[in-house]
Amino acid sequence: MVLLKTKNYIKSSLCLPKEIKLLLLKQESILLKDIFDSKLHTKKLQDFSEDHIYSFRVTRAYRGIFRLSGDQIILFAIGNRKAIYESF
């Protein structure tokens, strides 16, 4: 698997608090090894059934959104769980 990050994802991740950034790096490394690792709480998003779009947990308050495309994991959104789904 290959992990890719969009410009939006990178920009949003730079705005996160320092402790969240550290946890995010840890979660990204787990994601690269196994997207369905129980530590990630990966969930397929219902509104995008054909697009293979999933969310993963960074903390209880922060989520990341990614798309599976072949052997690529494309991270495209990161943020507070209450606002993250409005960003795309």
Q: pLDDT for 37-66, tens place per residue?
A: 999 999 998 876 677 899 999 999 999 999
Name the residue with tokens 């690529």. Answer: 72
Q: Which helix (H) or strand (E) holds 74?
A: strand 72-80
The pTM (predicted TM-score) of the whole model is: 0.89
The domain 2-86 having CATH identifier 3.30.2310.20: the answer here is: yes
Residue 3 burial (CB count, 10 A):
13
User: What share of the chain has pLDDT > 70, as a percent?
Assistant: 94
The residues, any chain, with a CB within 8 Å of residue 37's CB and separated by 6 or more, are 30, 31
pLDDT of residue 46: 84
pLDDT of residue 82: 86
